[in-house]
Amino acid sequence: MSTITAVPASASVSADLRHVVVVSRKTPIALAIITALAALLYALAPRPGYTHFRFSESGDPVHVPTLTVDGMTTAWLSVVIITALVVVSVAYVAAKRKVPVWVPIVFALVAIVGFLAWAGAGSTAEYPVVSLLRGSMLLAVPLVFGAMGGVIGERAGVVNIAIESQLLFGAFGAAIFGSLTHNPYVGTLAAIVAGVLVALVLGVFAIKYRVDQIIVGVVLNVLVYGLTDFLYSQVLVPNGTTLNTTVRFERLAIPGLSQIPVIGPALFRQTILVYVMYITVPIVWFALYRTRWGLRLRAVGEHPQAADTVGIKVERVRYRALAIAGAVVGIGGAYYTMVSVQSFGREMTAGAGYIALAAVIFGKWDPVRAALAALLFGAATNLQGTLSVVGAPVPSQFMLMLPYVVTILAVAGFVGRSRAPAADGTPYIKE
Amino acid sequence: MSAEQTVAAQPRQQKEPEAGNNRWREALRRIVSGSWAVSLGAVILAVIVGSIMIAATDDGVRTAIGYFGSRPGDTFSAVGKAVGGAYAALFRGAVWDFHATSFTNAIRPLTNSLTQATPLITAGLGVAVGFRAGQFNIGGRGQMLMAAIAGGWIGFGLNLPPVVHMLVAIAAGIVGGAIWAGIAGLLKATTGAHEVIVTIMLNYVAFYILGYLLATPGLLQAPGSSNPKTAPMKPNAIMPHLLGGKFNLHWGFVFALVAVAFTWWLLERSKLGFQFRAVGENPAAARVAGIDVKRTTVYVMLVAGALVGLAGVTQVLGTTTTGFGDGIDAGVGFDAITVALLGRSTPLGVLGAAILFGAFRSGGATMQAAVGVPIEIVEVVQALIVLFIAAPPLVRAVFRLPQPGSRPRRTTSTAAEVAA
C-alpha cells in the first residue's frame, strides 16, 4: 500500500518545486478569518453602552476632547471597514498583484479600535489613548532591536535563536556598568559589548565548529540564563547598591514634534533608546538593500557557494553580520535596566527574544515588516494591562497568548508565504 | 548525529588487525576517538569551568587574593576549600550522605537523584525520538504542562477505584502531551511550518492556558482558594512509593524504565521506528523507498509528545501530589533537550544522562543549602556539557584526542587493508 501512495506524493512534491508562487491567496484568507471571528464575537456577546477614548493628558498644550462613542456601533463599523479591506485584498489577488503592506496595517489598526470599543463598552473608565500608544512603543523597543538583530543574522544565513540570551546578557551588562558609572550611556555601551560577546560565541560554534545553529542557540539561552542567575545571586544581590542600582534614561521631548496632539506625547516624549529605535530600522533597511555590504550579506545567506565563487569571504561576512546583530540586540537589552526598571532581575527578559524571533518570521525576514510585527506584538502585550483597567471580559492570559498564536498562524503560512533565506541555518563548507 | 557516527564506526569494527599488539592499540584508539571519550571530555571541561566560577565568586578566595603577593598559598587553599566543599556537598546530596548516621539517611540522596531523574528520562526520550527522526522538539515544557492539565484534572477531579484511577490519569496525560506535540507535527506535515518555532510558541500558549485554568474558579483552581494552584491529587491516583514511605522514589521511575525499553524496541526493532530513522537520515531517500514522510512526521511528534506527556503526568501524580501551580514542569522540558544531546539520542544514553542530571539537580539543592553556592551553577555546567559535546573538534583539540578518521601511521597492516 505504501508504494501506491508514494507515487502521487513524490509527483506532487516535484510539481510544488516547479510551481512558482507569484501571488499568495493566504493574506485575504487570513484577513477574512479574522473578520469572521470578530463579527461572530460581536454578534454572540453584544456589550451595550458607551466607550470613552481620552486623547489628552494633563499638561498638553493642545487639549483634544475625550471621544465618546457607542460601543457596538463602533465595533460593527470596524467590521464593515475590515470587510472592505478583505474585498480590496481579494481584488489585488484576483488581478494577480501583491497585496500592498498598507492593507494589513490599516486592517490591524481598525480591528484593534473596533475590539477596544467592544471591550470597553459600558465601562466608566476611559481608554488613555496617549499612554496606550506610548506603552506599546516602549514595550516594542526590545522586540524591535531583537528582530533587527535576527533579520541581520538570518539574512547572512545564521539562525539566531540566541536573541533571548543576547537581550538578557545585554540587560545584565548594562545593569553592572550603568550602576558602577551612574551613566546610562556607559550602561548601553556595556549592553552592546555583552550582546556582541554572546553573538561571537554563537558564531564560533555555528560557523567554525559547524554545530547545528538551533542547538547552539537553545543551549546558549540556557547557559546565559544559568550564568546570569548564578552571578545575580552571588554578586549582584550582596552588592545591590553598588552593582545593581542604575540611573535610568530621562524622557526627552523633541521640540516641535512633541507638540503634535496625541501622536506627539506618545511618540516624541520618550527616552533616547526609542529614538535610536526609530532610526535603526531605516538604517538596517538601507544597509541591507542599498549598500555593497548588504548585497554581500544577502548573497552569503542565499547562496554561499556562489558568493564564495565571486570572492566573498563567506565566514568573515557571517562573523561580522553576527557581531553587528549582537550589538543591535544588545541595545535592546539595555532597555530592561536603563529604561524599564532600575535593577537587573532574574530572567527579566521573560521570552522577549523568542517573540522577536517570531517577529522576524512574521515580518518575512524584512527589517521594516519585522519592526511592524514587533510593534504589533508590543501593542498586544500592552493591551492586556489596559483591558483590565476598563474591566473587559477577556482574561489577560488570552491577550498574553495572542503574539504566540499569531506567530504559529504566521509560520503555518496563513499570512502570506514566509520564505527564509535559502542558506539559513546551514553552515558553509568550502570545497 | 549519533546514527551518522555509528555508521562511520561500523566498517572499522569489521577490520581486525592481525597482531595482538595492534589490536590493543586499535581498541584504545577507538575508545579515545569515539563519541564517549568526547562526552567524558565535555563533562570534565564543564566541571572545570564550573569550578572556576565557584572559586571566582567565593568570599574566602577573594579575601585571600587580596594578599596573594605575601601568602600565595592561602589563595590556593581557599580555592581548594571552596571548590572541594562545593563538590563534596554536591556528592553528599546526590549519591551518598557520608555525614548521616543510619544507612537509610545515607542512601536517601541517591533515591532523591533517581526521583529527580524520572521526568528527565521520559522527557529526554521524547526529545531523543524527535532527534532520531530529524525533528527538534523544543516544546517539552508545553507538552508537560498540557499533560499536567489533563492528568491533574483526572487526578483530583474524578473518583475512581485504586490503580484504575492512576492508569486513567496517566493515559490522559500521555494523550495531552501527544496532542500538543501533534499540533506541531501536523502543521509541519501540512504547511511546512518549522517545528522549532511552533513548539516554542506552543510552550507559551500552554503556559497561559494553564495560567487561565488555575486562576479561574471551577476549572483547575482548588475550591475555596484564590491561589493559582490545584487541589491535591486523590489518594487513588497517586503513584505509590517504590521503597516505602521513607524514600521519595515512586513508581514513576519504573514507568520511566519501561519507557526506555519501549523506546529502544520502537527505534531498533519496529517498522515504525525504522521509518522514523529513515526519515531522519534522509527524507528524500525515505520518500523514494515508499515511506509516507508527512504521515511519519506526525507520528514522530505524537510519540515524542506522549513520552514527554508521561514526564508531565509523573510530576503531578508522583513528585508534587499536593496540587500544582504553573511551575510544575520545573524546567524539565528544556533540560530534556540537553539530556537527549548528552545521551546521543539513544534510549540507554538518555537513561544515563538523565540520572546524571538528576544527580546534579538533587546535589545542587544540597550544595546551595550547605555551602551557599547557588543551584544555578548546575544549569551552567549542564549547558556547557552540551555545548562542548556538540562541538567534538573543540573537545578533541583541548584533550588532544585523535580524530575519528585518523589512523596510526605505523600499523602498515591496517593501511594495506584500506588500500585493498
Write the pLDDT tens digit of every residue in A171-222.
999 999 999 999 999 999 999 999 999 999 999 988 888 888 888 888 899 8
Q: How far is A33 from chain B (nearest CA, A)?
A: 17
| A residues 233..272 contacting B (CB < 8 A) | 233-235
* Domains in chain B: boundaries: 115-349
- Chain B nearest-CA residue for A216: B387
Provide the pLDDT for residue B12.
42
| A residues 396..425 contacting B (CB < 8 A) | 397-398, 400-401, 404-405, 407-408, 411-413
Whether the CA torsion A406, A411, A416, A420 is positive or negative: it is positive
Q: Do B194 and A411 touch (CB under 8 A)?
A: yes
Per-residue pLDDT for B84 more than 90?
Answer: no
Per-residue pLDDT for A12 more than 70?
Answer: no
Query: B54 near B86, Cβ under 8 Å?
Result: yes
DSSP A152-221: HHHHTT---TTHHHHHHHHHHHHHHHHHHHT-HHHHHHHHHHHHHHHHHHHHIIIIIS---HHHHHHHHH
Query: B403 near B396, Cβ under 8 Å?
Result: yes
For range A246-259, the mean pLDDT: 83
Over the stretch B345-404, which tens digit does the pLDDT of each residue have? Answer: 899 999 999 999 999 999 988 888 888 888 888 889 988 988 888 888 888 888 877 776
Task: Report percent pLDDT > 70 for chain B.
Answer: 88
Nearest-Å Rg of the Cα atoms of chain B is: 24
How far apart, in whole angstroms, are the C-alpha atoms of residue A33 and residue A415? 11
Provide the pLDDT for residue A28.
80
How far apart, in whole angstroms, are the C-alpha atoms of residue A99 and residue A32? 14
Provide the pLDDT for residue A238.
85
Q: Do A357 and B197 touch (CB under 8 A)?
A: yes
What is the overall mean pLDDT for chain B? 83
How far apart, in whole angstroms, are the C-alpha atoms of residue B45 and residue B382? 11
Provide the pLDDT for residue B30.
60
For range B66-72, the mean pLDDT: 78
| A residues 98..137 contacting B (CB < 8 A) | none
Provide the pLDDT for residue A261.
78
Helices and strands, number each (H, E), in chain A: 17, 5
- Chain B nearest-CA residue for A228: B376
Nearest of A196, A164, A154 to residue A366 by alpha carbon: A154
Q: Between β-strands A50-54 and A126-128, what pairing exists: parallel, antiparallel or unpaired?
A: parallel
Cα dihedral: B402, B407, B411, B412 (round 10): -160
More confident residue, B380 or A14: B380
**Model confidence band, residue B7 (pLDDT cutoffs 50, 70, 90):** very low
**Model confidence band, residue A320 (pLDDT cutoffs 50, 70, 90):** very high
Nearest of B203, B127, B143 to residue A408 by alpha carbon: B203
Nearest CB neighbour to B191, from listed A229, A357, A413? A413
Over the stretch B121-131, which tens digit does the pLDDT of each residue have? Answer: 999 999 999 99
Provide the pLDDT for residue A415.
47
Per-residue pLDDT for A15 more than 60?
Answer: no
Q: Is A6 on the interface with B (CB under 8 A)?
A: yes
How far apart, in whole angstroms, are the C-alpha atoms of residue A88 and residue A103? 8
Nearest of A301, A284, A347 to residue A144 by alpha carbon: A284
> Which of A21, A25, A207, A215 should be substituted to probe chain B, the one whose Cβ sees the most B Cβ atoms within 10 Å?
A215
Provide the pLDDT for residue A24.
64
Hey, which of A5-9, A415-419, B41-45, B388-392 has the most confident mean pLDDT? Answer: B41-45
The residues that bridge with A54 in the sheet, in sequence order, are A128
Per-residue pLDDT for A163 more than 90?
Answer: yes
Q: How many CA atoms lie within 13 A of B222 on its CB side?
A: 14
For range B315-333, the mean pLDDT: 86
> Which of B334, B380, B381, B388 should be substituted to probe chain A, the one whose Cβ sees the most A Cβ atoms within 10 Å?
B380
Partners of residue B387 in chain A, C-beta under 8 Å: 205, 216, 219-220, 223
Over the stretch A398-426, which tens digit does the pLDDT of each residue have? Answer: 877 877 887 787 677 654 445 667 777 77
How far apart, in whole angstroms, are the C-alpha atoms of residue A26 and residue B247? 57
Q: Which amino acid is at A226?
A: G
Over the stretch B228-263, which tens digit does the pLDDT of each residue have? Answer: 888 888 888 888 888 877 888 889 999 999 999 999
Over the stretch A139-158, which tens digit does the pLDDT of each residue have? Answer: 899 999 999 999 999 999 88
For range B63-70, the mean pLDDT: 78
Provide the pLDDT for residue B191.
80
Provide the pLDDT for residue B31.
57
